[in-house]
Amino acid sequence: LYGLFLWLAPDARAKPKVTLADLKAMLPVAFCFMGAHSASVFAMGMGAVSFAQIVKAAEPAFAAVIATFVYKKKVSKAKWLCLPIVIGGVILASVKELDFAVSALVAACIANLFAAVRGNENKKLMEADGIRDRIGSVGNQFAITSMMAFILSIPLVALREGSRFGEFVQMAKTTPALWNNMVLSALWFYGYNECSTMTLKKTSAVTQSVANTAKRVIVIVGVALVLGESLSPLKLIGCGIGIGGVFLYSIIDSLVKPKED
């Protein structure tokens, strides 16, 4: 709805001029977007949120493997060596509340796989001549794939939660906080993912995944501050390592680049 509003509002965002063939080309991105988000939600519902965050912290490793062996994108050895630092920092920041669950592990790994493929497919669309011009902007690309992902998610939602739809409708009628939380959550989620797509345009699928992992550190600290939870030394150390690892990842190639005579 927000994407449609931007197209309809005066001087907000130019409408895309995509064809049916363009929409077919965008289908893999939309499907992976739906799969990544759905699997992430399932992972958090099947086990502790902190455990899901730990497994999803491995997303850069999935992205690096997929980019290297499927999409033939080069990732330097130095950047490969930075990934364990980033992932380890998030694990340290979350490990106190670790609650292992096999189903959550599987769902989070599936989410990582979908996210890795989605990042690379998104990058392909941004670099494809013709379709890139017809889409018009990164914002339009994200809006279209989000709408397609929503449509693709309807059968899954009906299968998993269809029996509870009546309960949801009743709650929506009697609980104003539900609407407030849904609307605010949707707007923040949309804004974050659009910014993430813009980051992808300027970097690579692996770099975007690393930044996404750093976001988890910020979420851990932010939630602790908002909810008044204590920040243990282990959590603070983990946050510092995670953020430092992302910074090192961003500059490592410059640091180890051979000096020119």
Residues ≥6 apart with Cβ < 8 Å to 30? 144, 145, 146, 148, 149, 152
Residue 213's pLDDT is: 65
DSSP state string for 30-58: HHHHHHHHHHHHHHHHHS-HHHHHHHHTT
Task: Please give the biggest Cα pair distance in the chain.
Answer: 73
Residue in 163, 196, 195, 168 with CA at minimum distance from that of residue 182: 168
User: Distances from the Cα of 39 to the Cαs of 105, 109, 138, 153, in angstroms?
Assistant: 10, 8, 25, 11
Rounded to whole angstroms, how far apart are CA atoms 234 and 92?
7
Residue 247's pLDDT is: 67
Query: How many alpha carbons fall within 13 Å on the CB side of residue 102?
Result: 0
For 182-191, the CB contacts below 8 A with 24+ separation are 186/2, 187/2, 190/2, 190/3, 190/146
Residue 209's pLDDT is: 64
Rounded to whole angstroms, how far apart are CA atoms 30 and 32?
6
Residue in 93, 95, 84, 80 with CA at minimum distance from that of residue 240: 93
Rounded to whole angstroms, how far apart are CA atoms 231 and 224?
7
CA dihedral 208, 212, 213, 214 (to 10 degrees): 100
Residue-wise pLDDT for 163-220, tens only, equals 878 887 888 788 888 788 888 888 877 777 777 777 666 666 666 666 666 666 666 6
pLDDT per position in the chain (261 positions), as tens? 767 776 777 666 777 788 888 888 888 888 888 888 888 888 777 766 666 666 776 777 777 777 777 777 777 777 777 777 777 776 776 666 555 567 777 887 888 888 888 887 877 777 777 777 787 777 788 888 888 888 888 888 888 777 878 887 888 788 888 788 888 888 877 777 777 777 666 666 666 666 666 666 666 666 667 766 566 777 677 767 776 776 676 667 667 765 544
Residues ≥6 apart with Cβ < 8 Å to 104? 43, 44, 46, 47, 48, 51, 52, 55
pTM: 0.69
